[in-house]
Chain A
Amino acid sequence: MRRGRLSTWVGAAAIAVGWSLAGCKGHVSGPSELVPAQPLHRLNRLEYNNTVRDLLGTELRPADAFPPDPELDGFDNMAEALALTPALLDGYYSAARIVVDDALDPHPAFAVFRRYGDRATAVLDTEGGYAVGDLWALSGGVLTLPIDAPEGNVTVTLMAGATQVGAAPAPALRFELDGVEVQTFVVQGTGAMIAPHVHQLTLTAGSHTLRYVPTNFVSDPVGNNGNDVLLRSLAIESEARVDGPGRERVFVCDPSAEADGCYAEILETFARRAWRRPLSETERSRLTRLWSNIRDGGESDDQAMRLVMREILSSANFIYRARTVRDADDRGWLDNYVLASRLSYFLWSSTPDERLLAAAAAGSLASEEGMADAVGWMLDDERAQGLIDGFAEQWLSTRMLALASPNPDVYPSFDEELRQSMVLESKAFFADFLRERSPVIAMLRPGFTYLNDRLAEHYGMEPVGTDELVRVSSPALARSGILSLGAWLTAVSDPNRSSPIRRGRWLSDKILCEPVSPPPAGLMIPPLSDAEGSTVREQLEQHRSDPFCASCHSHLDVLGMGFEAFDGIGHLRADEGLDTLGELPDGQTFEGANEMAALVDKQAFARCVSSKLLVYALGRRLGDEDVADLDAIAERAVVENLTLRDVIVAVVTAPAFRSPGRMQEEAR
């Protein structure tokens, strides 16, 4: 049991008998305790990466290598699904050491890193060449990198491998600095085992050009002779070092003056940030004792500190966001620190910062005004990108687009640039609503859109004169709104053609929130085809002839048919005779995104957006007790023209978010 300082964050005893709360059902007063039904909430990969970034300033993203987080109801932050496996705890433990060292070890004062698995970088730095997986085949082209460096010594490391076929010589490169040869060398390694090629240079301050010139490139397919250089990366690092990015925020005092006291302060400060609440006296002394034990065992002061930081980042207090049996106050509001964490993982996918913790300490999150105020400045913070990366990416299926593989024979115009532009389009669309004052229901037909030249060309719209995404605003836009975003239209298509079924399912899940049950067992589904014999509608109707299938597909298929004017990569088909008659669940018919946008029940849409936000914010499925809250938000969204920010405020002040929510009784 925690004592002492703990009382500042657990608030008054909240082990309520006769708890009365909206949304708290079935409670019978008696000598029992209410405990939260909300499961422990483990940090997912995005949250882990953002959290260590904000705690330590590191740019590493160690969680990218963790096992994937299971997804439930379209989101990967659902507490129930976020189990912990031995491999995952191992990942957390190892990552803790890596991020602490990265934050505190000196970094090169000057560093350039170019990764040639990234096609855009490769095209920029080389003439010619082509991509091979995540390598770049130089193919006789020259690799040129201009840099602007400070004076001093640098290490240049080219990660590359050689290929060699037939009688061609092993490929060689001439490395030049400002046009002067440094060395001509034979490329080591292979495509499967990339090797480092290291050079030390002394640079004067100012602009320099590094060049790698192939000296014996051979390409003779007829004679079965050839060689090539496969590039992975080029890194330049200065010998001079600067403090690690986390040094200043970790070292809140100078240990050279009074080591023991200062390290205790450093560790308490770090643990408070990492565990998102003040420490109990027991916890504080445990960490301090751990530090002195480890140091007395033979580690240096600094290393002992790093090991305790590893403890803090491997602790259940860090890995989980926990609701305890006593963290609500007598009005049913959650403890301020629990609320601060909920807010920050909702809006930032990251840990609360000092300002939010200060608000929690001052108790100002315990009111609707306090919550609304926090939402305001949190969404203005750049960390609100976390809501776009966590929520919008999943709701608008841009993550799914990353994995789509349109058939290049059918869609020769689809390339990585287009895919990336579509991702940015959807994210910019959502970000616009976070920033601007457009009502949330305007997402259906906002009268603006985000385009670059690539997208404009693909969508058959006027070019905008830039590769950057820009906001184009006009009530007459042929294409604008959530229903015509390229990302989802492409992501839920089949590789060879659009899929009315999958689009119907997407619309009913993401826009109308009327998800259908999964198909029955033992199902044989022949894929749709445009082959002669029957139209797509006929094929779909055939597949609905079974009354069992029809119960769902009568909704899905006809809904998706309305979007048949968009092909499998969201391009408008020119075919005049195309059957694009769609039907909403209520029987209204439409053709195309714009007509559907006009017909969709605004309140149902607002309710759907709100429920997605609420599910994501809570990290749990909604229950019957949440229905009334949702209905109220949806009604206000339409009547009062609520903006996305308003809806977010409504979500975080709803009892489901700021109160214990579902409770269950437990005799203890």
Chain B
Amino acid sequence: MRQRRGVTRRRFLRGAGSALLALPALHYLRPSRAAAEACPRPRLLVYYFPNGRRPEWWVPAATGYGLVFSGQSAALQPFAARALSLVGLDNIAARNSPGAAHAMGTGTIMTGTTIPDFNGVKNGISLDQIVAQNLPLTTRFRSLQWSAGEPGTCDVGGAPCAYTQSISWAGYGSPLIPTIDPAIAFERLFNSGADGLTGAAGEVRRRSVGSVLDSVQEDARELSGVLGSDDRARLEEYFTALRELEHKLSGDATCERPADGPSSGLPYPDRVNAFHQLIKLAFQCDQTRIISFMIEFGLSGRSHDFIDAPGTHHGLSHYTNSDDYVRLSRVESWHSLQLAGMLQLLADSPGTEGGASLLDETLVLAISSMGEGGSHDHANNCPLIFGAAGTVNATNNQIAVPGTPLANLHVSLLKAFGVSGQFGQGGAIFGDFGTSEIPGVVASC
């Protein structure tokens, strides 16, 4: 993807000085916080891998010289100084949920909510969405969900596909299924609400679109009046989505639209790369502060022929011979390489909020559906955190706390994002088992 360097509103404002404070689109700007808050509040990128990660390849060794990654994760070594490795976190919610290990692992990894059964879609709100909903809306999109994957087979026992296809949940039973086509994601980011028209014609169109949306809202309100109560509740999803659409279409794009976006129908590795570029762009152009990205969906059956690792990824994760073991090793190495590519993009982009780079201003949580995939080990999940200088102790650290609920990490992250409150069930702060933060994760500031 070729990109023209975007001009962010923030950079624009810095150059133009305070005379521009009367700009109509100012409500998108975050309230001045330099004075109000001591701790920086980073952006959040959740980077998800399916089918588990083998700890011996994924978890760095903590040595006197800092974190040392194995050969399969060597690509991450340059980021050791900005990494925090967590070891031995227990996804109790997944273990307590009925079977279907991949649905339960993927579905609960960010929600920490036990799935009671497969009758209907029953999952709680995810960490990224709590953060999205509790911070003031200062960007065009509250959050974005993307995946380079393709919908595949869903898990056993009639597990609803939403569990393998979304890690972000807006609320109880509301999966946010990711956008899978980078061309569509690009359009969504840069479609300005004036159908691409500029000047006077653009102004006319923007008003027309405003009238269209008002009318659409009237339709929905009238419909709501003749619905039963369940359906009225359901229609709330529509009103919420409509508000976001209005919000999006009424604002100027804060960035110049790059000349070329990704095309539809890209092959998988190019799609991964295209989404990396879009993630960087979305942060750089202040389109959103929260993104979850699934490199593939849970239980992914993708065959990685392009790195000489044929066979379904899921099948390989249950390898029974050395050929498949080697192939799995190639897949996990390639995944680490992709994550490193994403980190490099962020590290190479100057920060827009005073940080040295976007990576310093972004908390990247790299997490898989489970620990070791062959045995569906939910009890030893080992996420890596990168970036977010000054917010978390991602400074060549490892915290090994076997048996600690994974949801405690989410409790820590809530604190890192400055969100206080109780969001869990049964007295928990987060999910079903998140009762306290993991010491040492959040930086004191």
Give chain A's interface residues, CB within 8 Å of chain B.
1-2, 35-37, 39-40, 65, 67-68, 70-74, 80-81, 83-91, 93-94, 97, 117, 133-135, 192-194, 282-283, 286-287, 290, 293-294, 297-299, 303-304, 307-308, 310-311, 314-317, 319-320, 322-326, 400, 403-405, 407-408, 494-496, 505, 509, 515-527, 529, 531, 621, 664, 666
Q: With A87-B188, A515-B158 in contact, is A526–B211 under 8 Å at CB?
A: no
Contact B267 A315 (CB under 8 A): no
* Bound Cα distance A526, B315 (Å): 11
Known: A325-B227, A518-B156. A65 touches B195 (CB 8 A): no
Query: Which A residues are CB-close (under 8 A) to B183?
Result: 65
Complex interface bits, B252-295 against A, C-beta within 8 A gives 1, otherwise 0:
00000000000111011010000000000000000000000000
Residue contact B160 to A527, C-beta cutoff 8 Å = no
Are A97 and B195 in contact (CB-based, < 8 A)? yes
Smallest Cβ-Cβ distance to B118: which chain A residue? A518
Identify which of A290, A405, A496, A621 contacts B303 (C-beta below 8 A).
A405
Instruction: Tell me, yes or no, whether B5 is within 8 Å of chain A by CB.
Output: no
Q: How far is the CB of B419 from chain A (nearest CB, A)?
A: 21
Of B99, B228, B242, B315, which is in contact with the most chain A CB atoms at under 10 Å from its CB?
Answer: B228
Closest 6 A-B residue pairs measured CB to CB? A518-B157, A35-B228, A519-B99, A133-B267, A89-B241, A518-B99
Stretch among B58-66, B229-237, B407-415 lining the A interface: B229-237
Among the 9-residue stretches B37-45, B173-181, B421-429, the one with 4 or more Cβ atoms under 8 Å from chain A is: B173-181
Q: Is the CB of A494 within 8 A of B118?
A: no
Q: Does B30 contact A (CB under 8 A)?
A: no
Alpha-carbon gap, A527 to B318, bound state (A): 7
**CB of B198 closer than 8 Å to a CB of A:** no
Judge whether B315 and A522 touch: CB under 8 Å. no
Report yes or no: B208 in contact with A297, Cβ–Cβ below 8 A. yes
Q: Establish whether residues B177 and A67, one from each chain, have CB atoms under 8 Å apart when the complex forms.
A: yes
Min distance, Cβ B158 to any Cβ of chain A, angstroms: 6
- With beta carbons under 8 angstroms apart, the residue of A83, A319, A505 that contacts B174 is A83
* B135 is an interface residue with CB less than 8 A from chain A: no
Contacting pair B267 A294 (CB below 8 A): no
Q: In the complex the two chains form, is B99's CB within 8 Å of A524's CB?
A: no
Indicate if the CB atoms of B180 and A39 lie closer than 8 Å: no
Interchain Cβ contacts under 8 Å between A and B, 15 examples: A2-B222, A35-B227, A86-B142, A87-B179, A192-B270, A287-B215, A299-B208, A314-B216, A322-B227, A405-B301, A519-B99, A519-B100, A523-B101, A527-B320, A621-B119
Q: Is B340 an interface residue, CB under 8 A from the partner?
A: no
CB distance from A537 to the nearest CB of B (A): 18
Q: Is A316 within 8 A of B219, CB to CB?
A: yes
Q: Give Cα A127 to B317, complex, Å.
A: 39
C-beta contact mask, B148-169 vs A, less than 8 Å → 1, else 0? 0011111011111110010000
Asked whether A298 lies within 8 Å of B320 as measured between CB atoms, the reply is no
List the B residue with the shortest CB-CB distance to A89.
Answer: B241
- The reply to whether the CB of B238 lies closer than 8 angstroms to some CB of chain A is yes
Complex: how many Å from CA A290 to CA B187? 26
Residues in chain A near residue B121, CB distance under 8 A: 70, 72, 80-81, 83
For the complex, give the distance between the alpha carbons of A515 and B208 in Å: 52
For A400, list chain B residues within 8 Å (CB). 153
List residues of B (170-227) whose CB comes within 8 Å of A's CBs.
170, 173-181, 183-184, 187-188, 191, 195, 204-205, 207-209, 211-213, 215-216, 218-220, 222-223, 225-227
Smallest CB gap from A403: residue in B: B152
Please name all residues of chain A whose beta carbon is closer than 8 Å to the beta carbon of B204 when the two chains form the complex. 297-299
Q: For residue A314, which residues in chain B have a CB less than 8 angstroms away from its CB?
A: 212-213, 216
User: In the complex, which residues of chain B have a beta carbon less than 8 angstroms from the beta carbon of A94?
Assistant: 187-188, 191
Within the complex, which residue of A80, A326, A509 is in contact with B226, where a contact is CB–CB below 8 Å? A326
Interface residues of B in 84-130 (CB under 8 A from A): 94-101, 104, 118-121
Quick check: is B77 within 8 A (CB to CB) of the other chain? no
Asked if B378 CB lies within 8 Å of chain A CBs, one says yes
B312 within 8 A of A: yes
Say whether B376 contacts A522, CB under 8 Å: yes
Q: For residue A522, which residues in chain B have a CB less than 8 angstroms away from its CB?
A: 95, 376, 378
Pairwise interchain contact A40-B98, C-beta atoms closer than 8 A: no
Q: Assess the B228–A80 pair: CB atoms within 8 A.
A: no
A94 to B241, CA, bound (A): 14
CA distance A80 to B97 in the complex (A): 21
Give chain A residues whose Cβ lies under 8 Å from the Cβ of B95.
521-522
A520 and B99 form a contact (CB under 8 A): yes
- B444 at interface, CB cutoff 8 A: no
Smallest CB separation, B109 vs chain A (Å):
15
Contact for A39 among B191, B231, B301, CB less than 8 A? B231
CB distance from B287 to the nearest CB of A (A): 13
User: Given the complex, which residues of B lie within 8 Å of A520, measured CB to CB?
Assistant: 98-99
B248 interfacial contact with A, CB 8 Å? yes
Q: Are B156 and A36 in contact, with the CB atoms below 8 A? A: no
- Asked if B251 is at the interface (CB within 8 A of a chain A CB), the reply is no
Asked if B215 and A323 make an inter-chain contact with CB atoms under 8 angstroms apart, the answer reads no
Q: Do A324 and B181 have beta carbons less than 8 Å apart?
A: no
CA distance A192 to B208 in the complex (A): 38
B310: which A residues are within 8 A, CB to CB?
405, 407-408
Chain B residue numbers with a CB within 8 Å of A664 are 228, 230
Query: From B156, which residue of chain A is reached at the shortest CB distance?
Result: A518
**B→A interface (CB under 8 Å):** 1-2, 94-101, 104, 118-121, 141-142, 144-145, 150-154, 156-162, 165, 170, 173-181, 183-184, 187-188, 191, 195, 204-205, 207-209, 211-213, 215-216, 218-220, 222-223, 225-231, 234-235, 237-238, 240-242, 244-245, 248, 263-265, 267-268, 270, 301, 303, 306, 310-312, 315, 318, 320, 375-376, 378
Task: Tell me the nearest residue of chain B to A317, going by C-beta.
Answer: B219
The residue from A68, A84, A310 contacting B237, defined by CB atoms under 8 A apart = A84
Residue of B nearest to A400 (CB): B153
Q: Cβ of B2: which chain A residues have Cβ within 8 Å of it? A: 193
Given the contacts A86-B241, A304-B208, A316-B223, A496 and B315 also touching, CB distance less than 8 Å: yes
Flag if A70 contacts B175 (CB, 8 Å): yes
Sample of 19 more A-B contacts, CB < 8 Å, known A134-B267, A518-B100: A2-B222, A40-B235, A74-B158, A83-B121, A83-B173, A83-B175, A87-B176, A88-B177, A91-B184, A97-B195, A307-B211, A316-B220, A322-B227, A323-B231, A324-B227, A403-B301, A518-B158, A519-B98, A521-B97
- Closest residue of chain B to A304 (Cβ to Cβ) is B208
Residue among B191, B211, B220, B223 having the largest count of chain A Cβ atoms under 10 Å: B211
In the bound complex, residues from chain B placing their C-beta under 8 Å from that of A194 are 263
Distance A98 CA – B213 CA, assembled complex (angstroms): 17
Known: A290-B212, A518-B118. A319 touches B162 (CB 8 A): no
Given contacts A40-B231, A70-B160, A87-B188, contact A307 B311 (CB under 8 A): no
Closest to B187 in A: A94
B244:A86 contact, CB within 8 angstroms? yes
Complex CA distance for A520 and B120, rounded to whole angstroms: 18
Determine the distance from Cα of A226 to Cα of B176 in the docked complex, in whole angstroms.
Answer: 46
Query: How far, in angstroms, from A2 to B227 measured CA to CA in the complex?
Result: 12
Whether A37 pairs with B209 at a CB distance below 8 angstroms is no
Given A35-B229, A286-B218, A316-B220, A297:B207 Cβ within 8 A: yes
Contact B227 A65 (CB under 8 A): no
A524 to B379, CA, bound (A): 13
A319 CA to B174 CA, complexed, in Å: 18
Is B220 a contact partner of A65 (Cβ separation < 8 A)?
Answer: no
Residue of B181, B240, B265 near A86 (CB, 8 A) is B240
| Given A314-B216, A522-B95, also A282-B222 (CB < 8 A) | yes
Chain A neighbourhood of B154, CB < 8 A:
71
Expressed in whole angstroms, the minimum distance between the Cβ of B241 and any Cβ of chain A is 4
Contact A67 B97 (CB under 8 A): no
The distance in angstroms between the C-alpha atoms of A84 and B239, with both chains bound, is: 10
The answer to whether B376 and A523 touch across the interface, beta carbons within 8 angstroms, is yes
Q: Are B159 and A518 in contact (CB under 8 A)?
A: yes
Q: How far is the CA of A486 from the CA of B291 in the complex (A)?
A: 41
CA distance A88 to B188 in the complex (A): 11
- In the docked arrangement, what's the CA distance between A407 and B311, Å? 6
Chain B residues with Cβ under 8 A from A525's Cβ? 318, 376
Establish whether residues B156 and A315, one from each chain, have CB atoms under 8 Å apart when the complex forms: no
